[in-house]
């Protein structure tokens, strides 16, 4: 590395002297040289310069008044670095001189530059933390004394000049007192020392507090000084200084709220002060602050009327901090119950503040968590006490519901259209928060809340004038939906009335229509228990289904109804299928909604009589299969590709939910037992798959090298296998053959994943084992070739291959007895896969080894491979743990080590001894003794997975030189 010798960055020897001139040159280069390479070189050299012993000397020269502010700043930063990190280098007899020098320079720089002054103050604060309490027992008192404006400075002309500005001195002293607690918070002393420092600093508060009060109350103090006082108080509050000793100062801060220049800082300070949980020990102080908070209500109302968002926001923060942090304590002050109720009502006013969030107000969202806290605290009291509080606060919570519903109102269509997309998204999230709050409030208000909403909705829909305001209707439905989504409303007596009211709603407005759909969806489980109500509600859903603008809400609602009510949908099946087929052919919905719709239809078809399903299924998918056939004949192009993937995705979605066995299970014990597929016909999904199999092969022949198309094809079969399970049996032979062919031609992870599903379900069935065995051999042979050529570019294939063989070992380990399976090569593939940096690949490989190792005792071929390659496996894992792999993978390596120790402890002991005796392995950071300790601890644990993870993690940190660093 070459340190710069001048601003232009000339070439100089590495051992360039650490002189003031050279440091300045490097700083010029860092700040002003346009070449990034030169800047980086200068940065490195300057970092080394700060760490050097000479830095104690050159830093003072850099602080000379004639230097540039950037140079002076570096000098002050260097001082801080030396004091905070190299304090032990400075002899004790120089401490006093350094302190006086620092104080002198702070006085010199009290008029600026501000960045240099702050850095010098931080340096003195760091020094104080090194000396408190033994070597510097009263730092604050000494600092205050040093800054007395009437005292002349003995340093010379410029110092004397500085002393003539008491205002600047006052600001400098406040800066120093502000950074002292901040430096403590950012420092990292040992725990015992930290506690000692905290106690010593808290003791200094008795000096700081009266001085801050005096300055805040003084008519002579400028706004600048008062702002500094407020900032200083915030800083000290972070040390948990007792509110009992500072509540008068906090009270004084309230007067600053009437000063526009100090308002923001006063809010921050008050909120910080009263948000300390420790404040709850000082109940009297809190009670004394309450009238001051309540006294802000008029200022809050005026600000809300005038649209002064900043003021209303600030006052709201104070009210919420008081109410939320100390909710339980203040509730328990029974003699002050009216004051706390007034505070709750003040917060309710903030919740309902005029304007639309987030465009014309941003305050209401601050209050929502308060209502959770208050409710939790009320409901946590014993029953008798709780009843008293509920009597007072239930009416408030009913008011809250009204306020929340009003705040959830959409603006007029015209206004809403003018909102930015960011505003719309924030409003959406805000409504979700309101929805969660309403759901929570239901716990306190119960069935009466639903009755209340229902009565209001009924009155509104019966009154033409009221129902013309769609926002009111939408908000009430939004309230219903919020509750019905998460609360069991099956026993509510208002739901039948609500279901009766919904068809009366005019859904010409899109936002209202959306909420109507979601409300119906939230009642799907209720409809399943009351199927007689389906007839009145389904036409509305189907009416929404044909509108593109209601795509998400209508499709998701239909899906929920088909899932929950499928056994009662036979009378409506024709209508649902007709409308659905129509919207699919007309391509009204986006791709993802088409997938949801197909899942809905899968649920619907599952519940129909078996003889009907195939007819309906053919009718549903024929147009799409015909389109697929047309696309298969065409030459590949990007448009074709997306259409093919879309249609295959729709088939996958349909087959995910089309499960006739679910229907058979639900009818078990019914008066008319229905025939299972094995007794009558083949599963309709299998029939369809066999019919389109040739078409799929045609598609694959043209798109074999496209992973997305292959993945989509595999997805159709994968979803079918997962849903049909053993009913998929008739397809196993065909699919195994096709999978082997496509993988040999163009290996892809999706084919391996599908093969794993086949192994999982069919490896134990005699009639399928020969097909499974042949498939595994073909896939393994092809993958071994990839590993021989270098698998690094195929982490997905390595991952899926490991998962596949872990499944084979789990379901059918006998396959490993085959002569066609090269077990030694497989073991070596596992070792190579452990070296991958990708977490999923290493996780899959550790699973492979934890399945393989227990089998080694019973299967001689596996035992032989372990004997000859176990040492390499151990070495690979240790190398990875020692720094060869990301630390996040350590827990997966620990699982393999635990498995080795559980199933071959003697061999593992030998392998650990042999591999760890190499000097510098797995890292030069660990000693022979540490390696021996690691081995001993590891070999002791054969069952405790958590303990093994800790041992391996600790060893990994040692190897990386990170132990004790907070990682």
Query: CA dist 205 to 50, 178, 266, Å?
Result: 34, 12, 19
Helices and strands: H and E segment counts in the chain? 48, 0
Query: CA dist 2 to 24, 45, 59, 75, 112, Å?
Result: 15, 8, 21, 21, 34
Mean pLDDT of 594-600: 97
Question: CA-to-CA distance for 321 and 408, rounded, in angstroms?
Answer: 24
pLDDT of 708 reads 93
CA 527 to chain centroid: 35
Output b/e per residue, 478-492; b: 16+ Cβ within 10 A: bbbbbbbbebebeeb
Return all residues near 165 (Cβ < 8 A) that are at least 6 apart: 110, 111, 149
Sole residue written with tokens 């010409």 = 508
Sole residue written with tokens 């309710």 = 348
pLDDT of 453 reads 93
* Tens-place pLDDT, residues 904-953: 999 999 999 999 999 989 988 889 999 999 999 999 988 899 999 999 99
Peptide bond into 606 cis (omega under 30): no
Q: What's the pTM value of the predicted model, to 2 decimals? A: 0.77
Closest by CA to 797, choosing from 809, 785, 807, is 785
**How many Cβ atoms are within 10 Å of 354's Cβ, its own excluded?**
11
Closest by CA to 852, choosing from 807, 792, 793, 905, is 807
Do residues 959 and 925 touch, judged by C-beta distance below 8 A?
yes
Do residues 683 and 727 touch, judged by C-beta distance below 8 A?
yes
Return all residues near 186 (Cβ < 8 A) that are at least 6 apart: none
Q: DSSP label at 567?
A: G
Query: CA dist 903 to 497, 551, 852, 948, Å?
Result: 66, 57, 10, 15
* Tens-place pLDDT, residues 239-267: 877 777 788 888 899 999 999 999 999 99
Largest alpha-carbon pair distance within the chain? 109
CA 726 to chain centroid: 39
CA 263 to chain centroid: 34
Question: CA-to-CA distance for 531 and 571, rounded, in angstroms?
Answer: 11
SS3 960: coil
Question: CA-to-CA distance for 833 and 880, rounded, in angstroms?
Answer: 12
Q: Which helix (H) or strand (E) holds 370?
A: helix 368-379
**Confidence check: pLDDT of 226 > 50:** yes
- Kindly indicate the confidence band of residue 874, based on its pLDDT and cuts at 50, 70 and 90: very high
Closest by CA to 310, choosing from 363, 238, 243, 237, is 363
Beta strand spans in 769-872 (E): none
Question: CA-to-CA distance for 175 and 114, rounded, in angstroms?
Answer: 10
Closest by CA to 803, choosing from 861, 850, 733, 873, is 850
Peptide bond into 133 cis (omega under 30): yes
CA 256 to chain centroid: 38
Question: CA-to-CA distance for 353 and 338, rounded, in angstroms?
Answer: 22
pLDDT of 276 reads 81
* Tens-place pLDDT, residues 145-194: 888 754 444 444 334 344 457 888 888 889 989 998 888 888 887 888 88
Taking all residues of the chain, what is their mean pLDDT, rounded to a whole number? 88
Query: What tokens were used for 670?
Result: 């019914």
SS3 891: helix
pLDDT of 787 reads 93
* Tens-place pLDDT, residues 466-501: 777 899 999 999 999 999 888 888 788 899 999 999
pLDDT of 441 reads 94
Task: Give me the percent of the chain exceeding a pLDDT of 70.
Answer: 94
What dihedral angle (degrees, nearest 10) is formed by the CA atoms of 636, 642, 648, 649? 160
Burial class (CB in 10 A: 0-12, 13-18, 19+), 846: buried
Closest by CA to 891, choosing from 944, 953, 800, is 953
Mean pLDDT of 608-632: 93
- Kindly indicate the confidence band of residue 665, based on its pLDDT and cuts at 50, 70 and 90: low
Question: CA-to-CA distance for 563 and 543, rounded, in angstroms?
Answer: 19
Closest by CA to 438, choosing from 409, 471, 403, is 403
Question: CA-to-CA distance for 25 and 21, rounded, in angstroms?
Answer: 6
Question: CA-to-CA distance for 477 and 39, rounded, in angstroms?
Answer: 62
**Confidence check: pLDDT of 375 > 60:** yes
Question: CA-to-CA distance for 719 and 725, rounded, in angstroms?
Answer: 10
Question: CA-to-CA distance for 410 and 160, rounded, in angstroms?
Answer: 66
Peptide bond into 101 cis (omega under 30): no
Do residues 339 and 290 touch, judged by C-beta distance below 8 A?
yes
DSSP string, 406-459: HHT----HHHHHHS-HHHHHHHHHHHHHHHHHHHHHHHHHTHHHHHHHHHHHHH
pLDDT of 8 reads 39
């Amino acid at each position: 590395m070459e340190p710069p010798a001048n601003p232009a960055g000339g070439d100089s020897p590495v051992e360039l002297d650490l002189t003031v001139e050279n440091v300045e040159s490097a700083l010029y280069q860092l700040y002003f040289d346009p070449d990034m390479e030169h800047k980086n070189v200068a940065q490195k050299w300057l970092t080394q310069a700060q760490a050097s012993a000479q830095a104690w000397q050159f830093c003072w020269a850099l602080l000379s008044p004639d230097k540039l502010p950037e140079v002076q700043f570096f000098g002050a930063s260097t001082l801080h670095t030396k004091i905070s990190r190299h304090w032990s280098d400075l002899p004790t007899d120089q401490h006093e001189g350094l302190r006086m020098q620092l104080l002198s320079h702070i006085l010199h720089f009290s008029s600026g530059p501000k960045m240099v002054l702050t850095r010098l103050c931080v340096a003195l604060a760091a020094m104080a933390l090194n000396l408190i309490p033994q070597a510097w027992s009263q730092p604050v008192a000494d600092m205050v004394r040093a800054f007395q404006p009437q005292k002349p400075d003995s340093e010379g002309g410029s110092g004397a000049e500085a002393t003539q500005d008491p205002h600047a001195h006052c600001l400098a002293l406040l800066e120093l007192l502000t950074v002292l607690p901040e430096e403590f918070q950012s420092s990292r002393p040992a725990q015992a020392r930290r506690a000692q420092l905290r106690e010593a600093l808290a003791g200094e508060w008795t000096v700081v507090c009266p001085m801050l009060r005096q300055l805040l109350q003084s008519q002579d103090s400028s706004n600048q000084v008062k702002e500094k006082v407020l900032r200083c108080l915030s800083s000290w509050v972070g040390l948990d200084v007792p509110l009992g000793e500072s509540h008068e100062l906090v009270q004084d801060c309230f007067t600053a709220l009437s000063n526009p220049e100090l308002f923001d800082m006063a809010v921050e300070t008050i909120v910080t002060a009263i948000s300390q949980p420790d404040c709850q020990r000082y109940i009297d102080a809190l009670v004394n602050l309450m009238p001051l908070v309540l006294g802000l209500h008029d200022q809050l109302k005026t600000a809300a009327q005038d649209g002064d968002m900043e003021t209303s926001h600030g006052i709201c923060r104070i009210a919420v901090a008081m109410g939320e942090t100390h909710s339980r304590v203040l509730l328990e002050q029974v003699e002050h119950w009216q004051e706390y109720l007034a505070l709750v009502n003040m917060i309710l006013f903030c919740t309902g503040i005029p304007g639309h969030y987030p465009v014309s107000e941003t305050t209401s969202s601050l209050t929502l968590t308060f209502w959770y806290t208050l409710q939790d605290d009320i409901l946590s009291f014993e029953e008798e006490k709780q009843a008293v509080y509920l009597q007072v606060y239930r009416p408030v919570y009913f008011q809250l519901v009204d306020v929340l519903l009003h705040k959830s109102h959409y603006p007029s269509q015209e206004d809403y259209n003018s909102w930015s997309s960011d505003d719309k998204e924030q409003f959406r999230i805000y409504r979700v928060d309101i929805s969660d709050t309403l759901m929570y409030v239901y716990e306190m208000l119960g069935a009466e809340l639903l009755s209340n909403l229902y009565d209001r909705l009924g009155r509104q829909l019966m009154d033409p004038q009221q129902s013309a305001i769609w926002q009111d209707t939408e908000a009430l439905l939004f309230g219903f939906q919020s509750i019905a989504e998460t609360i069991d409303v099956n026993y509510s007596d208002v739901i039948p009335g609500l279901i009766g009211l919904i068809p009366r709603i005019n859904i010409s407005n899109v936002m209202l229509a959306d909420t109507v759909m979601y409300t119906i969806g939230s009642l799907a489980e209720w409809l399943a228990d009351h199927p007689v109500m389906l007839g009145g509600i389904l036409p509305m859903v189907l009416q929404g289904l044909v509108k593109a603008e209601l795509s998400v809400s209508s499709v998701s609602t239909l899906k929920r109804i088909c899932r929950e009510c499928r056994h009662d949908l036979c009378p409506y099946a024709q209508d649902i299928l007709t409308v659905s087929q129509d919207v699919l052919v007309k391509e009204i919905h986006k791709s993802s909604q088409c997938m949801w719709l197909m899942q809905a239809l899968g649920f619907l078809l599952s519940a129909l009589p078996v003889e009907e399903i195939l007819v309906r299924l053919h009718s549903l998918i024929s147009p799409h299969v015909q389109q697929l056939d047309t696309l298969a004949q065409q030459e590949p192009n990007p448009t074709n590709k997306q259409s093919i993937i879309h249609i295959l995705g729709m088939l996958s979605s349909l087959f995910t939910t089309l499960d006739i066995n679910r229907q058979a299970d639900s009818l078990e014990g019914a008066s008319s037992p229905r025939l299972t597929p094995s007794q009558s016909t083949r599963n309709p999904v299998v029939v369809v798959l066999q019919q389109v199999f040739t078409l799929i092969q045609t598609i694959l022949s043209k798109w074999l090298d496209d992973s997305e198309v292959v993945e989509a094809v595999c997805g159709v079969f994968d979803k079918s296998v997962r849903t049909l399970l053993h009913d998929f049996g008739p397809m196993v032979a065909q699919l195994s053959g096709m999978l082997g062919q496509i993988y040999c031609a163009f290996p892809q992870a999706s084919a391996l994943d599908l093969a794993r599903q086949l192994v999982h379900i069919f490896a134990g069935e005699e009639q399928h084992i020969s097909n499974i065995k042949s498939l595994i051999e073909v896939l393994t042979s092809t993958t071994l070739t990839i590993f021989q050529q270098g698998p690094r570019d195929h982490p997905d294939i390595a991952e899926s291959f490991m998962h596949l063989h872990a499944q084979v070992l789990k379901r059918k380990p006998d396959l490993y007895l085959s002569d066609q399976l090269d077990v030694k090569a497989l073991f070596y593939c596992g070792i190579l896969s452990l070296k991958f940096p990708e977490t999923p690949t290493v996780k899959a490989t550790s699973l492979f080894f934890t399945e393989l190792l227990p089998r080694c005792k019973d299967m001689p071929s596996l035992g032989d491979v372990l004997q000859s390659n176990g040492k390499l496996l151990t070495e690979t894992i240790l190398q990875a743990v020692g720094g060869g792999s990301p630390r996040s993978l350590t827990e997966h390596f620990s699982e393999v080590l635990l498995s080795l120790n559980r199933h071959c402890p003697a061999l593992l002991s030998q392998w650990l001894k042999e591999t760890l005796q190499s000097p510098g392995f797995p890292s030069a950071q660990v000693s022979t003794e540490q390696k021996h300790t690691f081995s001993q601890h590891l070999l002791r644990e054969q069952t405790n997975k958590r303990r093994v993870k800790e041992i391996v993690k600790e060893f990994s940190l040692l190897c990386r030189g990170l132990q004790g660093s907070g990682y």
